[in-house]
Structure 1
Amino acid sequence: MNTVTPTTAAPSSAVPIPAAASRATAVFTCILAALAGLMFGLDIGVISGASQFIQKEFQITDHMIEWIVSSMMLGAAIGALGASWMSAALGRKRSLILGAVLFVLGSLLCGWAWSPEALIAARLILGLAIGIATFTAPLYLAEVAPEHIRGAMISLYQLMITIGILVAFLSDTAFSYTGSWRWMLGVIAIPGALFLLGVFFLPDSPRWLMMRGRERDAHDVLIRLRGDESVAHREMTDIAEQLKTPQRGWHLFLENSNFRRSVGLGVLLQLMQQFTGMNVVMYYAPRIFENMGYDTHAQLWFTAIVGLTNVLATFIAIGLVDRLGRKPILYIGFVVMALGLGVVGAMMHLGITSHVEQLFTVAMLLVFIVGFAMSAGPLVWTLCSEVQPLKGRDFGIGCSTFTNWIANMIVGATFLSLLHGIGNAATFWLYAGLNLVFIVLTYWLVPETKGVTLEQIESKLMAGKRLREIGR
């Protein structure tokens, strides 16, 4: 692996630019990369409003709808598996370009789908795009963002996902008046094309350039993004030092039981996040509101309110995560989610007969959304990156990301079957019960990492401390 020391960085032809201009360039670069999160959110949200119209046109069963919904997650799992190699071999920028191309192609094919099978194939292509983007975009952001705004920029990526979901819900609602599900699915190719165009203007990641032995190019990029020779020089020194610690995740996984524990914790956290039931609501919100007694247009308007609640509640996590800590917020979130779903199940069991009861049930579903968006939604990703030791971080995060998509697929592929098999009320009680279990798992296994350096976490992990004790 190529490394560089400060003295080996060849003189550059790049001319330092004013600080204000360099800050603007860095922020613009980060915002454009974070739009990958918007593409992700659009893809998650768009199928929710379209599925009932697809089912009506093709005259297909709920089981086939489950396959159409979950095929995207299968593609995302495959894309995430290949994204690690791709981002190293092709670079972060080229990986994002490929993801954007697949996104546009998949969106257009979804709009032109001539059969349920063709729609499944198109959604699989969309999934590949999302799998590549969800791995590459946060990695790219972490490598190009100035350190004083790095956390904000990565949080912006998560926020973009929720905004994308909301925009998709609103778009579905607008097209629902004509029943144009092909437009619902196809129209997201437009922001995809704009994103593709914008990605061509992104610089390559300085870290990737140094990994390829292109120190002068890395220096030029850092001058553009930082506008200060001394800052660029220091970052090159830091990157060179980091590259002296090669990733050897698979070998470390086989050799070290403590690393296997951290990988297992990352996998468990992703299972906990997915089996809260959040994506059940994201994918099937109109069906849930139909079971509450609402008509088609009301279903989609309430689905849009779900998306808006998801966006606004994400700010709670951003504001509290470094004040209260990870575990207290997770406790609060799981309790709120269990309460919300438990009451929704109870209302469906008793029967929703009046408008007041309908609105109360919707309110409790929104309480559940708030619980997720303020806790397990963003914090699981934070914890998954914090608990992995440096030498195995890429491998550990790759395993947890793959688990996220597989669990996501299972949730999407089973919800309607659960409704038919055990009933509406029991299905929501099942997910409420799982959230109560997650409170216990959080207590026994999840560490509190607030205010603890990654080096301290790694030291305690490798010393054999219990998982919940590797934080503070």
Structure 2
Amino acid sequence: MKPTGSVYLILICTTAGLGGFLFGFDTAVISGAINFLRTQFHLSPAMEGWLMSSALLGCVGGAAVAGWLSDKYGRKKILLFSAILFITSAFWCSVAQTPSSLVIARILGGVGVGFAAMVAPMFISELSPASLRGRLVSVYQLSITLGILCSYLTNAWLLNIATNGSAPGFIHFYMVDEVWRAMLGSNMIPATIFFLLLLMVPESPRWLIKNGNYTRANIILTRINGIERANAELREIKETVGEEDGNIRQLFAPKWRIALMIGLVLPFLSQLTGITTVMYYAPAIFDKAGFQGGAAMGSAALIGFFNMIFTIVAIWRIDIWGRKPLLIWGFVGLSIALFSIGWSFYQNGSSQFLLGAFIYYIAVFAATLGPGVWVVISEIYPTKIRGRAMSLATLSLFVGSTFVTQTYPILRESLGIGITFMLYAIMMLPAAWFVKKFVPETKGKTLEEIEQYWKAKSLSKFHMKKVV
């Protein structure tokens, strides 16, 4: 018997969410390898930053074209392609002989991340009912945090094997002599699982409707919502899509300008929190704070654990609290957390206080900005150009992430870790103002109702100008 209703919906969204798992795993797994790579290849701070941020360059490239590709070929096909890129990149990293080869492999994996990061939350959003959309899209962020945690635990396990020197035969080279190869290659396993599960999920019904395949879309909607609700939703989507011309120039029309600005600015600001720096450099940061070897890796894993736990809090409350309050208090809370971390480093504070500050930081991010940003950018655009519009939003996120990751080693060496984190803290306050000023509340609204909101807002401004 085929699953239907909420069970079927959850299975689809969980599978798509595995794209987030791979995003998180690929982002954080290098954190355990970087110390080995720095020693083996004698990396300068600039080259270290390039090796760490090269994957993000791939993310930028992937996000830049994923929208156009997903609008043309469908959400499912692009997710399948991202899985293939993850597998290829992980294998290449495990056999790379030079930093340049590693960079190329990381860029390739980054393209896969860019595809998955853009398409997966959009895919989930397009399948979800309004009352559950915030929670189901937040599953994507939960998957990211789970991927980060699993990468830390995998690195800790491999580090333990390398320390004990217990691997047999030719595996000894990969798991002991150059354990970073096993760390970076371990992503092949979840990537293969992701590929196989994707073969069993349907295409987005909204994409099918946009392309005139109403029968297939109705079958999927019926299986999720039942016949009566599916028919009503089919009519609403067809009516709304019929008002759009599907041209990317539509995004620059006056009625979508605020949505476009939110999609470009909000993701970039979310990366100025330094979250990618913390995920990439967590073991190295704790090592610099006085934690040694396994303790540094264990502290990083603890951060990953709290990241996952507080994302679950966000999933539980986001459709009740709403998107806007979550984002405002997230930026304010992160400013306090980042200042505390920076001050602790600046004053050479206790390692216990520093660990507590990091846990507070990750708890705030995971419960607010982590899921909140993905939910907002997945629901504010019209259906016919949602893929390409989300490409711009995801591109902005990865540009911000690349900027912060590339500049962190340079700021760390020139200003010190403390001042660097305090700079991040200062940036959070104008970010909170931006959300308060421009981001609308979208909880409980269907994607079509959100679309009509922007049209009504634009029409209202037009009439006000005429009166004046």
* Same fold, TM-score > 0.5, yes or no: yes
- Aligned counterparts, 1:403-414, within 5 A: 403-414=396-407
Q: Distance in 1 between matches of 2:236 and 2:255?
A: 27
CA change 1:214–1:261 in 2 (3 A) is closer
Question: Which residue of 1 is the match for residue 369 of structure 2?
Answer: 376
Q: Distance in 2 between matches of 1:399 and 1:409?
A: 15
Q: Distance in 1 between matches of 2:436 and 2:211?
A: 43
**Structure with more contact order per residue of length (Cα contacts < 8 Å, sep ≥ 6):** 2
Matched, 1:250 2:252: no
User: What RMSD, in angstroms, separates the aligned Cα atoms of the two structures?
Assistant: 2.6
Compute the displacement of 1:411 (Å): 0.9
Question: Which residue of 1 is the match for residue 173 of structure 2?
Answer: none
Q: 1:333 aligns with which of 325, 330, 334?
A: 330
CA change 1:252–1:111 in 2 (3 A) is same
CA change 1:47–1:401 in 2 (3 A) is same
Compute the displacement of 1:121 (Å): 0.3
Q: Distance in 1 between matches of 2:123 and 2:382?
A: 20
- Aligned counterparts, 1:94-173, within 5 A: 94-145=77-128, 149-173=132-156
Q: Distance in 2 between matches of 1:420 and 1:85?
A: 40
CA change 1:304–1:136 in 2 (3 A) is same
- Aligned counterparts, 1:249-288, within 5 A: 250-254=248-252, 256-288=253-285
Compute the displacement of 1:70 (Å): 0.8
Q: Secondary structure at the match of 2:200?
A: coil
Q: Distance in 2 between matches of 1:428 and 1:172?
A: 25
Q: Distance in 2 between matches of 1:389 and 1:212?
A: 15
CA change 1:227–1:432 in 2 (3 A) is closer
8 Å contact 1:258–1:464 — kept in the other structure? no
Compute the displacement of 1:219 (Å): 4.2
Matched, 1:458 2:461: no
TM-score between both structures, scaled by the size of structure 1: 0.86
- Aligned counterparts, 1:299-448, within 5 A: 299-352=296-349, 357-388=350-381, 393-448=386-441
8 Å contact 1:387–1:457 — kept in the other structure? no
Compute the displacement of 1:421 (Å): 1.2
Compute the displacement of 1:351 (Å): 2.0
8 Å contact 1:26–1:146 — kept in the other structure? no
Q: Secondary structure at the match of 2:413?
A: helix
8 Å contact 1:146–1:226 — kept in the other structure? no
Q: Distance in 1 between matches of 2:333 and 2:130?
A: 34
1:277-320 Cα offsets, whole Å, 9 max, x none, are: 11111111112112211112111110001111111111232333
TM-score between both structures, scaled by the size of structure 2: 0.86
Q: Distance in 2 between matches of 1:31 and 1:104?
A: 20
Matched, 1:289 2:286: yes
What percent of counterpart residues are identical?
33
- Aligned counterparts, 1:37-56, within 5 A: 37-56=20-39
Q: Distance in 1 between matches of 2:369 and 2:432?
A: 11
Compute the displacement of 1:22 (Å): 5.6
1:197-249 Cα offsets, whole Å, 9 max, x none, are: 121222233333344444444444445x3484444444433443233133545
Question: Which residue of 1 is the match for residue 50 of structure 2?
Answer: 67
CA change 1:222–1:212 in 2 (3 A) is same
Q: Distance in 2 between matches of 1:129 and 1:117?
A: 19
Q: Distance in 2 between matches of 1:446 and 1:88?
A: 25
Compute the displacement of 1:149 (Å): 4.7
8 Å contact 2:122–2:387 — kept in the other structure? no
- Aligned counterparts, 1:5-24, within 5 A: 23-24=6-7
Residue identity matched to 1:376: L
Q: Distance in 2 between matches of 1:393 and 1:446?
A: 18
Q: Secondary structure at the match of 1:351?
A: coil
Q: Distance in 1 between matches of 2:8 and 2:377?
A: 30
- Aligned counterparts, 1:204-243, within 5 A: 204-222=203-221, 225-226=223-224, 228-243=226-241
Q: Distance in 1 between matches of 2:44 and 2:278?
A: 19
Q: Secondary structure at the match of 1:102?
A: helix
Compute the displacement of 1:252 (Å): 3.0
1:75-123 Cα offsets, whole Å, 9 max, x none, are: 1111112112222332222211111111100111111111100000001
For structure 2, the residue ranges without an aligned partner over 5 or more in a row are 163-175, 463-468
For structure 1, the residue ranges without an aligned partner over 5 or more in a row are 1-16, 467-472
1:421-466 Cα offsets, whole Å, 9 max, x none, are: 1112211111111123323333444444456651563145414669
